[in-house]
């Protein structure tokens, strides 16, 4: 009974973290361009930031999905969900002043999502506490 309660709390924490990170990423990628620091010669930093944001996003989604027995392939689901979110947010940037839709940002988001989901656990994880 106590172990089940701990598992439920841990799962709730993982799902909350994934939800909060989803909102954080959405806010960060919706900031108008004039409010961002000038990239100058560090334009690659924007692409790296996209990869990092979606690496964390897909990893959190993957861990939040891990204990769901109905989901046969949580890594694939996390990559698809996070990759779709990256594509949606990149498209939304078309309507944000000072932002632009870029293939490199989308590719970085997709790559980050794939790496994050796999790194979060390539096998089915459980919420069992370490012994």
* Model pTM score: 0.83
Residue 131 in this model has a pLDDT that exceeds 50: no
Tens-digit pLDDT profile for residues 53-98: 999 999 999 999 877 778 888 999 999 999 999 999 999 999 999 8
Residue 66, token pair as written in the block: 């891990």
Mean pLDDT of the chain: 86
Residue 127 in this model has a pLDDT that exceeds 70: no
| Site of tokens 């794939």 | 114
DSSP output for 34-103: GGSPP-GGGTHHHHHHHHHHHHHHHHHHHHHHTT-TT-S-HHHHHHHHHHHHHHHHHHHGGGSTT----H
Output phi, psi for 119, to 5 deg.
-65, -25
**Is 93 in contact with 25 (CB distance < 8 Å)?**
no
């Amino acid at each position: 009974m106590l172990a089940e309660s701990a598992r439920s709390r841990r799962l709730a924490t993982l799902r909350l973290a994934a939800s909060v990170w989803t909102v954080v990423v959405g806010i960060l990628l919706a900031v108008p361009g004039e409010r961002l620091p000038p990239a100058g010669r560090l334009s690659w930093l924007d692409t790296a930031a996209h990869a990092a944001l979606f690496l964390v996003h897909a990893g959190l989604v993957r861990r939040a999905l891990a204990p769901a027995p109905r989901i046969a392939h949580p890594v694939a689901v996390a990559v698809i969900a996070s990759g779709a979110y990256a594509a949606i947010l990149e498209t939304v940037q078309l309507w944000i002043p000072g932002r632009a839709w870029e293939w490199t940002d989308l590719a970085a988001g997709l790559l980050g999502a794939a790496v994050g989901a796999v790194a979060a656990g390539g096998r089915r994880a459980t919420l069992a506490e370490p012994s």
